[in-house]
Chain A
Amino acid sequence: MVHVCTIVPISLTVGANRIIPAVAIPYPFGDPAKTPEEEYAIRKHIVEKSLKALQTEVSEQTVFND
């Protein structure tokens, strides 16, 4: 499992092992200030990072930054 969330310290506290930082609390996978195409690209980037994290062996809690 990979946890995509904005407040990474909470994710660390509750014990997620693979963590992807998200954009913002009300829109973790988007940005309403951007065009729909740009938003889709942001979302795709986070999902791709998530899939990569899922394929990465970890031995402890790991935050996958860009």
Chain B
Amino acid sequence: MSFRVVHYINQFFAGIGGEEKADHRPEIREGIVGPGQALQAALGDQATVVATVICGDGYFAENIDGALEEILALVAPYKPDLLVAGPAFNAGRYGTASGGVCAMVGEKLGIPTVTGMHPENPGVDMYRKNTYIVETADSARGLRKAVPVMAVLGLKLLKGEALGTPSEEGYLEKGVRHNVFLSRVGAERAAEMLAKKLRGEEFVTEYPMPTFDRVPPAAALKDLKNATIALVTSGGICPKNNPDHIEASSASKYGAYSIDDLDKLSCEDSETAHGGYDPTYANADPNRVLPVDVLRDMEKQGVFKKLYGTYFTTVGNGTPVAYSKRFGEEIAQKLKADGVDAVILTST
């Protein structure tokens, strides 16, 4: 028996047209269209591309929810065992559409899905967890190389075969962790990596670090005497008994607490929620992490105009970068809206 495959492509790869045809509405055609030929060749006699669904990139981007509904209605009657989308290379709207179609069809029809994109395609971060995204070159020149990898991965998923690591199978990491037993303990592997690094040899990390963005430095504060200064901390300082239950590690939230009535923090009113350092010293005197006492005195002496009446706090301990980024953006918006001129961020 041959598996049934439906292939999703955009108006350009279907030969309908370029940007002037990007508003092309979803349609489905029997059999293969465009890059479907390469896909069918790679699948061989194990699977058949029974239909190709086509949608204009512009139409999809402007009507995402509606387009997904229409596409699902077109795909479902063909009862596919697998959906393949693209590859979309580094085309942003095509990548977003391919990822979106894979995610939706995979969820609604309960079948495996595979697409292909360049690592910098915005569709990668949006859908890497919902589908298998084979790494491709940035343009259609990479078609011949990408399609066989997508086909092999699709066939493995259809047959329920065990997959190797993302780099072995050629897809971009989905963020899934599997426990495996290795013959050598972590210390040995780490020491070997370090030795290779010191010798200037290539090595492969077992835990890639997240990438951090960069922002241009803010302009210098011009008029300190008339400035409002705010305090923000990742050191977990919070009112006694942590009323909002900020987590001791992997924090999912931040708190905003008033210091309007306080000349300083004390062990009577404040503590730390942080689970990543010895809290003895911060609990005994929370000013050691959030220097409210000094800033209040300086405010009274007229060094600056005002200590902002609320401090923002979270626990920086295994906290996901994506969460931290969101916390930072939200806090910065509130501070800007309230006319804060400068921020002292404290970390433990």
Contact = CB atoms under 8 A, between A and B. Distances in A.
Tell whether A and B belong to one assembly: yes
Interface of A: 1-7, 10-11, 13-18, 22, 25-30, 32, 39-40, 43-44, 46-47, 50-51, 54-62
Given A14-B212, A32-B284, A54 B294 contact: no
Contacts of A51: 221, 224, 229, 298, 303-304
Contact of B344 (A6, A14, A47): A47
B259 interface: no
Contact of B343 (A2, A7, A39, A58): A2
Contacts of A39: 285, 288
B158 interface: no
Given A15-B213, A51-B303, A30 B346 contact: no
Interface string B203-225: 00000000011111111111010
Nearest to A23: B288
28 contacts: A2-B343, A2-B344, A5-B346, A5-B347, A13-B212, A15-B212, A16-B345, A17-B217, A17-B218, A18-B217, A22-B347, A25-B277, A26-B278, A27-B289, A30-B288, A40-B294, A43-B287, A43-B288, A43-B291, A44-B294, A47-B298, A54-B224, A54-B342, A56-B220, A57-B219, A59-B217, A61-B217, A62-B217
Nearest to A32: B281
B112 interface: no
Contact of A3 (B281, B289, B345): B345
